[in-house]
Structure 1
Amino acid sequence: MPEIAPETTTGKPSVLFVCVHNAGRSQMAAGWLTHLAAGRVEVRSAGSAPADQVNPVAIEAMREVGIDITAAQPNVLTVDAVEASDVVITMGCGDACPIFPGKRYEDWKLDDPAGQDIEAVRKIRDDIRTRIEKLITQL
Protein backbone atom coordinates (compact mmCIF):
# COMPACT_ATOMS: atom_id res chain seq x y z
CA MET A 1 0.00 0.00 0.00
CA PRO A 2 1.20 3.55 -0.61
CA GLU A 3 2.27 5.69 2.28
CA ILE A 4 -0.25 8.13 3.60
CA ALA A 5 0.71 11.79 3.47
CA PRO A 6 0.04 13.36 6.83
CA GLU A 7 -2.53 16.15 6.74
CA THR A 8 -2.64 16.98 10.43
CA THR A 9 -1.21 20.06 12.01
CA THR A 10 1.17 17.86 13.99
CA GLY A 11 2.69 16.38 10.83
CA LYS A 12 1.73 12.89 12.02
CA PRO A 13 -0.61 10.58 10.16
CA SER A 14 -4.04 10.46 11.81
CA VAL A 15 -6.43 7.55 12.20
CA LEU A 16 -10.11 7.66 13.17
CA PHE A 17 -11.79 4.49 14.46
CA VAL A 18 -15.59 4.46 14.15
CA CYS A 19 -18.19 2.03 15.46
CA VAL A 20 -21.81 2.51 16.48
CA HIS A 21 -21.46 3.04 20.24
CA ASN A 22 -17.75 3.99 20.46
CA ALA A 23 -17.67 1.85 23.58
CA GLY A 24 -15.83 -1.34 22.60
CA ARG A 25 -14.12 -2.08 19.28
CA SER A 26 -13.15 1.48 18.40
CA GLN A 27 -11.95 2.21 21.94
CA MET A 28 -9.82 -0.95 22.01
CA ALA A 29 -8.40 -0.09 18.57
CA ALA A 30 -7.58 3.45 19.70
CA GLY A 31 -5.92 2.05 22.82
CA TRP A 32 -3.81 -0.39 20.80
CA LEU A 33 -2.73 2.22 18.24
CA THR A 34 -1.87 4.77 20.93
CA HIS A 35 0.19 2.13 22.75
CA LEU A 36 1.93 0.50 19.78
CA ALA A 37 2.60 3.67 17.75
CA ALA A 38 4.08 5.40 20.82
CA GLY A 39 3.11 8.93 19.82
CA ARG A 40 3.86 8.65 16.09
CA VAL A 41 0.20 8.64 15.07
CA GLU A 42 -2.69 10.93 15.99
CA VAL A 43 -5.52 8.69 17.22
CA ARG A 44 -9.26 9.46 17.31
CA SER A 45 -12.37 7.39 17.91
CA ALA A 46 -16.07 8.12 17.60
CA GLY A 47 -19.47 6.52 17.27
CA SER A 48 -22.55 7.14 15.17
CA ALA A 49 -24.71 6.61 18.31
CA PRO A 50 -22.28 6.83 21.25
CA ALA A 51 -22.96 4.97 24.48
CA ASP A 52 -22.82 6.58 27.92
CA GLN A 53 -19.58 4.82 28.84
CA VAL A 54 -16.91 2.46 27.55
CA ASN A 55 -17.79 -1.23 27.88
CA PRO A 56 -16.33 -2.41 31.23
CA VAL A 57 -15.41 -5.81 29.72
CA ALA A 58 -13.41 -4.03 26.98
CA ILE A 59 -11.66 -2.00 29.69
CA GLU A 60 -10.81 -5.21 31.57
CA ALA A 61 -9.57 -7.01 28.44
CA MET A 62 -7.24 -4.11 27.63
CA ARG A 63 -6.07 -3.86 31.24
CA GLU A 64 -4.96 -7.51 30.98
CA VAL A 65 -2.42 -6.50 28.30
CA GLY A 66 -1.25 -3.40 30.16
CA ILE A 67 -3.31 -0.78 28.31
CA ASP A 68 -5.51 1.52 30.37
CA ILE A 69 -8.56 2.87 28.54
CA THR A 70 -10.51 3.79 31.68
CA ALA A 71 -10.29 7.52 30.87
CA ALA A 72 -11.74 7.02 27.38
CA GLN A 73 -15.19 8.48 26.73
CA PRO A 74 -17.52 7.67 23.83
CA ASN A 75 -17.59 10.55 21.34
CA VAL A 76 -20.11 11.45 18.68
CA LEU A 77 -18.92 11.08 15.09
CA THR A 78 -18.52 14.48 13.43
CA VAL A 79 -17.73 15.55 9.89
CA ASP A 80 -14.76 17.49 11.33
CA ALA A 81 -13.25 14.31 12.82
CA VAL A 82 -13.46 12.56 9.46
CA GLU A 83 -12.05 15.56 7.59
CA ALA A 84 -9.12 15.80 10.04
CA SER A 85 -8.18 12.12 9.61
CA ASP A 86 -5.99 10.47 6.97
CA VAL A 87 -7.38 6.98 7.59
CA VAL A 88 -10.93 6.16 8.68
CA ILE A 89 -11.50 2.65 9.97
CA THR A 90 -15.12 1.64 10.39
CA MET A 91 -16.30 -1.27 12.48
CA GLY A 92 -19.94 -1.85 11.72
CA CYS A 93 -21.20 1.73 11.61
CA GLY A 94 -22.96 1.16 8.30
CA ASP A 95 -23.87 4.22 6.27
CA ALA A 96 -23.42 6.64 9.20
CA CYS A 97 -19.82 7.41 8.21
CA PRO A 98 -19.36 10.38 5.89
CA ILE A 99 -17.15 9.73 2.87
CA PHE A 100 -14.63 12.34 1.72
CA PRO A 101 -12.40 12.09 -1.35
CA GLY A 102 -8.72 11.58 -0.61
CA LYS A 103 -9.27 9.66 2.62
CA ARG A 104 -8.36 6.04 3.02
CA TYR A 105 -11.24 3.93 4.32
CA GLU A 106 -11.15 0.42 5.71
CA ASP A 107 -14.05 -1.56 7.11
CA TRP A 108 -12.98 -4.08 9.72
CA LYS A 109 -15.45 -6.92 10.24
CA LEU A 110 -15.26 -7.53 13.99
CA ASP A 111 -17.73 -8.97 16.46
CA ASP A 112 -19.33 -6.41 18.76
CA PRO A 113 -18.08 -6.89 22.33
CA ALA A 114 -21.37 -5.54 23.77
CA GLY A 115 -22.93 -8.20 25.97
CA GLN A 116 -20.03 -10.62 25.45
CA ASP A 117 -18.05 -12.35 28.20
CA ILE A 118 -14.34 -11.71 28.79
CA GLU A 119 -13.27 -14.74 26.72
CA ALA A 120 -15.05 -13.42 23.62
CA VAL A 121 -13.76 -9.89 24.17
CA ARG A 122 -10.17 -11.18 24.49
CA LYS A 123 -10.47 -12.71 21.01
CA ILE A 124 -11.77 -9.42 19.59
CA ARG A 125 -8.96 -7.54 21.40
CA ASP A 126 -6.31 -9.85 19.96
CA ASP A 127 -7.80 -9.62 16.44
CA ILE A 128 -7.71 -5.82 16.71
CA ARG A 129 -4.05 -5.91 17.81
CA THR A 130 -3.09 -7.92 14.71
CA ARG A 131 -4.90 -5.42 12.47
CA ILE A 132 -3.28 -2.45 14.26
CA GLU A 133 0.21 -3.94 13.85
CA LYS A 134 -0.44 -4.27 10.10
CA LEU A 135 -1.87 -0.74 9.92
CA ILE A 136 1.22 0.73 11.57
CA THR A 137 3.44 -0.80 8.87
CA GLN A 138 1.27 0.95 6.23
CA LEU A 139 1.44 4.39 7.81
Structure 2
Amino acid sequence: MAAAYLTHLAGDAVEVRSAGSEPADRVNPAVVEAMREEGIDLTAETPKILTVDAVRASDVVITMGCGDTCPVFPGKRYLDWKLDDPAGQGVEAVRPIRDEIRTRIQTLITELLDRECS
Protein backbone atom coordinates (compact mmCIF):
# COMPACT_ATOMS: atom_id res chain seq x y z
CA MET A 1 0.00 0.00 0.00
CA ALA A 2 2.82 2.40 0.82
CA ALA A 3 4.52 1.91 -2.54
CA ALA A 4 1.22 2.25 -4.38
CA TYR A 5 0.40 5.49 -2.59
CA LEU A 6 3.89 6.85 -3.13
CA THR A 7 3.70 6.12 -6.85
CA HIS A 8 0.15 7.46 -7.09
CA LEU A 9 0.73 10.66 -5.11
CA ALA A 10 4.32 11.56 -6.05
CA GLY A 11 4.29 10.44 -9.68
CA ASP A 12 7.67 10.76 -11.36
CA ALA A 13 9.09 12.88 -8.52
CA VAL A 14 10.08 9.76 -6.55
CA GLU A 15 11.40 6.38 -7.71
CA VAL A 16 9.62 3.64 -5.80
CA ARG A 17 10.76 0.11 -5.01
CA SER A 18 8.61 -2.28 -3.02
CA ALA A 19 9.66 -5.53 -1.40
CA GLY A 20 9.25 -7.52 1.76
CA SER A 21 11.43 -9.68 3.95
CA GLU A 22 8.83 -12.48 3.84
CA PRO A 23 6.50 -11.68 0.92
CA ALA A 24 3.27 -13.58 0.43
CA ASP A 25 2.51 -15.28 -2.86
CA ARG A 26 -0.12 -12.65 -3.72
CA VAL A 27 -1.41 -9.30 -2.56
CA ASN A 28 -4.06 -9.61 0.14
CA PRO A 29 -7.48 -9.36 -1.60
CA ALA A 30 -8.73 -7.02 1.15
CA VAL A 31 -5.79 -4.70 0.43
CA VAL A 32 -6.61 -4.82 -3.29
CA GLU A 33 -10.22 -3.86 -2.50
CA ALA A 34 -9.29 -1.11 -0.03
CA MET A 35 -6.88 0.44 -2.53
CA ARG A 36 -9.44 0.13 -5.34
CA GLU A 37 -11.67 2.36 -3.19
CA GLU A 38 -8.90 4.96 -3.46
CA GLY A 39 -8.70 4.62 -7.23
CA ILE A 40 -5.49 2.56 -7.14
CA ASP A 41 -5.45 -0.79 -8.94
CA LEU A 42 -3.20 -3.44 -7.39
CA THR A 43 -4.59 -6.43 -9.26
CA ALA A 44 -1.46 -6.85 -11.40
CA GLU A 45 0.98 -6.46 -8.48
CA THR A 46 2.92 -9.37 -7.01
CA PRO A 47 4.88 -9.31 -3.75
CA LYS A 48 8.68 -9.30 -4.17
CA ILE A 49 11.53 -10.29 -1.89
CA LEU A 50 13.66 -7.52 -0.42
CA THR A 51 17.17 -7.59 -1.86
CA VAL A 52 20.40 -6.03 -0.69
CA ASP A 53 20.67 -4.23 -4.04
CA ALA A 54 17.24 -2.63 -3.61
CA VAL A 55 18.22 -1.25 -0.20
CA ARG A 56 21.63 -0.14 -1.45
CA ALA A 57 19.98 1.80 -4.32
CA SER A 58 17.48 3.57 -2.04
CA ASP A 59 17.76 6.86 -0.17
CA VAL A 60 14.89 6.10 2.20
CA VAL A 61 13.98 2.60 3.38
CA ILE A 62 10.61 2.11 5.02
CA THR A 63 10.28 -1.07 7.02
CA MET A 64 7.32 -2.48 8.85
CA GLY A 65 8.89 -4.66 11.46
CA CYS A 66 11.44 -6.67 9.48
CA GLY A 67 14.04 -6.29 12.24
CA ASP A 68 17.39 -7.97 11.65
CA THR A 69 16.36 -9.44 8.30
CA CYS A 70 16.55 -6.04 6.59
CA PRO A 71 19.98 -5.00 5.31
CA VAL A 72 21.31 -1.79 6.85
CA PHE A 73 23.75 0.56 5.13
CA PRO A 74 25.30 3.74 6.50
CA GLY A 75 23.90 6.94 5.05
CA LYS A 76 20.43 5.57 4.36
CA ARG A 77 17.36 6.96 6.08
CA TYR A 78 15.39 4.17 7.75
CA LEU A 79 11.81 4.53 8.90
CA ASP A 80 10.28 1.60 10.79
CA TRP A 81 6.55 2.07 10.70
CA LYS A 82 4.67 0.25 13.44
CA LEU A 83 1.35 -0.65 11.82
CA ASP A 84 -1.20 -3.41 12.20
CA ASP A 85 -0.57 -6.23 9.75
CA PRO A 86 -3.32 -6.47 7.11
CA ALA A 87 -2.54 -10.16 6.50
CA GLY A 88 -5.65 -12.23 7.01
CA GLN A 89 -7.77 -9.14 7.69
CA GLY A 90 -10.96 -8.15 5.90
CA VAL A 91 -11.44 -4.85 4.13
CA GLU A 92 -13.05 -3.24 7.21
CA ALA A 93 -9.85 -3.84 9.21
CA VAL A 94 -7.60 -2.85 6.29
CA ARG A 95 -9.16 0.59 5.73
CA PRO A 96 -7.73 2.23 8.88
CA ILE A 97 -4.29 0.74 8.09
CA ARG A 98 -4.58 2.07 4.54
CA ASP A 99 -5.55 5.51 5.80
CA GLU A 100 -2.62 5.64 8.23
CA ILE A 101 -0.23 4.63 5.45
CA ARG A 102 -1.63 7.36 3.19
CA THR A 103 -1.09 9.97 5.91
CA ARG A 104 2.50 8.83 6.47
CA ILE A 105 3.21 8.77 2.72
CA GLN A 106 1.85 12.29 2.28
CA THR A 107 4.18 13.48 5.06
CA LEU A 108 7.12 11.64 3.50
CA ILE A 109 6.46 13.16 0.08
CA THR A 110 6.41 16.64 1.59
CA GLU A 111 9.72 15.96 3.39
CA LEU A 112 11.38 14.48 0.29
CA LEU A 113 10.29 17.22 -2.07
CA ASP A 114 11.12 19.99 0.42
CA ARG A 115 14.61 18.52 0.81
CA GLU A 116 15.11 18.39 -2.96
CA CYS A 117 14.06 22.05 -3.28
CA SER A 118 16.42 23.22 -0.50
With the shorter chain as reference, the TM-score category is over 0.9
Alignment of 1:81-96 (within 5 A): 81-96=54-69
- Structure-2-length-normalised TM-score: 0.92
**Are 1:72 and 2:48 counterparts?**
no
Q: What is the CA distance between 1:42 and its match in structure 2?
A: 0.4
Pick one of 59, 65, 74 that aligns with 2:32. Answer: 59
Equivalent position of 1:38 in the other structure: 11
Distance 2:59 2:82 in 1: 20
- Structure-1-length-normalised TM-score: 0.79
% identity of equivalent residues: 76
Alignment of 1:122-133 (within 5 A): 122-133=95-106
Distance 1:50 1:129 in 2: 21
Once the two structures are superposed, residues 42-101 of structure 1 have per-residue CA deviations (whole angstroms, 9 ceiling, x without a partner) of 001111122111111100000001011111111111100000000000011121111000
Note the aligned Cα RMSD (angstroms): 0.7
Equivalent position of 2:88 in the other structure: 115
How many equivalent residue pairs? 112
Distance 1:101 1:112 in 2: 28
Moved more, 66-75 or 104-113: 66-75
Equivalent position of 1:101 in the other structure: 74
Q: Where do 5+ consecutive residues of structure 2 fail to align?
A: 113-118
Distance 1:93 1:105 in 2: 12
